[in-house]
Structure formats: structure tokens, C-alpha cells
Structure 1
Amino acid sequence: MTNMSPLPIGGTATPNEAELGTIARVLYEHAGIVLAPGKASMVQSRLGKRLRALGLKDYASYIKLVTSDAGQEERREMISALTTNVTNFFRENHHFETLRSTTLPPLLEKARAGKKVRIWSAGCSNGQEAFTIAMVLSDMAQDLAKLDIRILATDIDPRMVERGRESLYDVGALNSIPQAMQRFVKPEPGGVRVIEPLRQLVSFKELNLHQNWPMKGQFDIIFCRNVVIYFSPEDQLKLWRRFEAQLAPGGWLFVGHSERVPLDGNTALTTAGITTYRLPETAGLNGGPKWH
């Protein structure tokens, strides 16, 4: 008798407890994502496709691959398969209302004074969050093309990063874009595509938040929404601190509806709205990785 979970025709097997534990450990070690108990069927439905694509007969063989030195590329595929990507344009719209009313006006003036403005959409999924920010910016500033404003959009999932670069979305995406803002997308075969001026504002990069951040410079705005909830409490705290160190004085941090930054004695961040935080203008420049 064997402890392996075979993958029969149709791929209906589920990983056994030991295999699920190993998959969870690899996912955590390489992406910081905590695989909650009771996710065997989810793992089966998502990784079963990978086993069939690779011609592997069981989860033990797959685990042997992703834990080997030669399995680096398949580990990326595994993380991609097990990552939850839920997004839409103007999701949690109160954040974009804050951008329009409070956050962006002084930053636009800063840019018009010849200074740069940098925005980061961390855990950007397929790019709809970053392009929503770009839509709001473009709607507010007819002179946007003349200003030194850039948006960095990063995600751990290379497939999502590539979709963001393509910027082609199902026509159903229009349902979440206000009518007045639909001028920022155009119909194409297969859906709607973000217009070129907005695409030029956004740079898409693959980035694992739990590894080194190769960026230079600090950000005026960071969006990281509904991402940190998948991490352990200890890793969440580390990430909040790293985001704070990456903010410029007066910088803004927007988080997801289920997330809260602990406002204790170890942070200079203050509440600035619903799941919105800000550094004081007088905050000292922090160290850490930079991007420009």
C-alpha cells in the first residue's frame, strides 16, 4: 500500500494530508501565502491541471519536482495556480473618491512644479486597479502627458502581469467603469483595451512581496488591497512596516476592506479614511529599497 495520491483519468484525486502539508509549506516559503485548512479540493482543481500538463501520475511526483533545484519554473506555475486573483475597475470606489478629492490635487500641483510623483499598485492582479488610478489621474489632469507621474504595478503571478501589459479585458469589465470614464477604453476583438496614453503611465513588473524590492525612490501613494490577508500575522506586520518605509513624507497607503494596519507606537502612520492611512508631511525620510 502506498501513501501517494494517484491522479486517475479526469484528475479527480485530491492530495493526501502529508502532500497537502508539503504544498502548503512550499507556497508559504516562496510566496508567504498561508494555505488555510480544508483547501484540498481547491488544490486538486488548480494543480490537477498542472499534473496533467506535465504528464505526472501523482502529487508525490509533482512535489518532488517543485522542491527540486530544477523545479524553479514550476514553482512559479504552482504559485500562479494557487494565487487568488479577484479584481475589477473601481473596486472599493471610496478609495478613488479619496484620490480625487484629497490625495491627488496637491500631488498634481507638485508634478506641475517640476517634481516627480510615484504610485505603486502592489498585488495588482491583472492591472485593473492600476488602470483605475490612471483613469482618475487622466480625468483630473488634461496636462497629464507633460507631468512626471508614473504608476508601478506589480504582482507575483507572471500571467497576471502579462495580462496587465496586454490591457485587454472582457467586455463585462465595462459594468464596473462609470459611464463618464468609459472613454478610457476602446472596443477590440475579444473585449475592451485601455487606451494607449493610460497604458504608457503604467509599468508592470513581476514581484514577490516577500523577497527583495529592487525599486529606487519612495512612493507618494501605495495601493495594496486584499493581498496581505493571505499572509501570516507576523508577515503582515513586516509588510506594513516595509510599505511605511517605502512611503515618502505625506504618503498615502490604501489597504483592503478586511485589512487593518496596527497603529501602535512602532508606526508613524495615521488613519486618513476608510482603510486609508497616511504619513505626516513631517515624517523623516526612511531607508530601505528604492525605485524611480
Structure 2
Amino acid sequence: MSTPKRRNGWGTRNVLVAIGATAILVYSIGPFIWLFIASITPEATADFDTPYLSDRTVTYLPTDPSFANYYALFQNVPFELYFRNSAIIATGNMVLTLIVASLGAYGFVRFRFAGRSSFLVAMLVAYTIPSVVLLVPLLVIFRNVGLNNTHLGMILAEATHAAPFVLLLMINYFSTLPKELEEAAQVDGAGRIKTLWRIVIPLSLPGLVAGGLLAFIMSWNNFLFAFLLTSTTQVKTLPVIMRQFALGEPAVWGVSAAGALLSTLPVALIFLLFQRMLMSGLAAGAVKG
């Protein structure tokens, strides 16, 4: 008589888990579904000469869906230029952050030197400092060295916030790697750099992917630096153009939704492609071995 009760208990538990998972899924993808529906809902323009002056409200089930909003997005706004700027800055920040963080983390883990603990505390404090505190120093420095309104300046600015976080992540990850592998390679004649490149980096690939993706996403979504450190469309990024849509009067729901959806897709696709490595990298770096 105990077996049916156990089966009934497991059945009820599975149903509750399925209901909870479905609720979380709907809650998570609900905004994206709403964005897609709004993006394919035609604009009811109040003035045909100014297609961004719309007087319609968003309908959840459009009767005549079309991709006119996407066409209007690329026709009336240099969206592809903003997209390219975001890709250049986010990718540059990711590469720079990974180089600095991986080298720094390897040094902290494998070498013992005076002031090591103080440097680690300084890195932690640097990560906790709000980005807005760095704006005035960065503006002054970039103006003096000619990096204002440049891709390089934006990459360096973004790295000030991403590098400390990825450094701490990689320190924890490198700490889980056995030293014996590196010692064996050094016995065979490999130097520190070769050991790092041939042994440590391949073994740390999940951690590097996790740190790189987080640095990329942080830069892709950052509005503050892109808004205050740039002044021309040649460098401005996607969050800036999305702010312009939000300030429109009246709101342009369809074009705004199209831009928001296209801005979100790259990060979502990257996460879906590398989610296993991202999760394993974060999990392995969370606890020292």
C-alpha cells in the first residue's frame, strides 16, 4: 500500500514543479513576446510626413501584422551604426578585460608578493565603486589625452568596471586548477608564459567564457558611459538611441519595440549558445577547490 502513495506523492511534486517552471518561463519570456507583438503592429501615424508621430496604442493581437516598423527603424535612424558601435566597444572591452584579468588573476594565484592581500582588497573596492564616481576623472583624463568621443576611450572606460569583477572571478577559478600540471610542464622546459598559454588557459576556458560574456553584457547594456563620454553618432551605442525613442512625444511603440528587440537579440543568442560554459564557469569559480 505504500508504493501507490509514494507514486502519488512524486506525481503531485512533478505537477507542482511543472507549474512553477511554466510560470517562471512565461514571466521570463513575456516581455520579449510583448516586444515582438508591438514591433509587428503597424503604426497609426498622425502625420504621414513625420512617421514617428504616432497616436495609436499598442494592441496585443494585431489584425494586420507587418515588419514596417523594422523598415522604418533602419530608414529613419542610423540603427546599424549604433549597433556596430555597441559591437565594437563591447567586444573590445571583453578582449581587454580578459587579457588584463587573466594575467592578473594568474599572478595573484601563483605568486606570493608583498602587498598581495592589499591589492586584492583594492580590486574588490574598485568593483564596488559606482560608475558615476569615475565619470569626472575619466572625462578629464580622456580630454587631456584625446580619447574623448572615441571607441578606444569607451573600451577603456568600460574596462574600469568590468576588469575588477572578472579578475575576482578568474582568481577563484585559477585557484581550482592543480599546480602539479604546471610544475610538470615547467620540468619539461616550459616557461611561465608558455605554461599559461598551453596549460592554464585551455583548462580555464569555461571561466574565461563566463568572464568574457559578463564583460560583454555589462558593456552592451551600459548607458551611462555611452551617454556622457560620446557626443556624435560615430561612437554612440544602442542604449543611447533607445533613450531617444523613450523621450519621443508621443511614444513610438512599434519602432521602439523593434529597436529594443534587435538590441536584445545578440545578448540572448550569445547566452543560449554558451550557457553551459557560462554556468560551469560561474559554478567552478564560486568555490575554491
Shorter-chain-normalised TM-score: which range?
Answer: under 0.3
TM-score w.r.t. the length of structure 1 is 0.22
Q: Which has the higher helix share?
A: 2
